[in-house]
């Protein structure tokens, strides 16, 4: 489980850093719609899903204690759901990605 968690974390980190490099290289006002919007949606979609997988495995590792309201992993698990629904749901992100792919 730890190996899977590490792999998800590193993929999330790599995709985020690559996207940030691409955004940094854009000219002023060069963002908005298009390829970079699709890649941003893909990074957010992947990060939210990967984070929830990591947190779910963390709860599994902690066993019954992971379900205790007072435990840190339980708080993180509940908070992690915000990554999937904050700033647009996964379905909205999928629509952005699919819309760009179908152009």
Phi-psi region of 68 (alpha: psi -120 to 50; beta: other; left: phi over 0): beta
Tell me the pLDDT tens digit for each residue of 28-46: 776 677 888 899 999 989 9
pLDDT for position 31: 66
pTM (two decimals): 0.80
Residue 90's pLDDT is: 86
Q: Are 91 and 99 in contact (CB under 8 A)?
A: no
Question: What domains lie within the chain, and their CATH numbers?
Answer: 32-103 (1.20.140.10)
pLDDT at residue 83 in the model = 73
Average pLDDT of the segment spanning 86-102? 88
Element (H, E) at 87: none
């Amino acid at each position: 489980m730890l190996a899977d968690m590490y792999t998800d974390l590193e993929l999330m980190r790599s995709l985020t850093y690559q996207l940030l490099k691409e955004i940094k290289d854009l000219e002023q006002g060069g963002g908005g719609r298009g390829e970079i919007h699709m890649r941003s949606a893909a990074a957010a979609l992947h990060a939210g899903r990967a984070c929830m997988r990591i947190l779910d495995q963390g709860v599994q590792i902690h066993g019954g204690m992971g379900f205790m309201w007072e435990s840190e992993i339980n708080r993180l698990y509940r908070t992690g759901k915000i990554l999937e629904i904050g700033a647009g749901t996964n379905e909205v992100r999928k629509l952005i990605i699919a819309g760009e792919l179908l152009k």
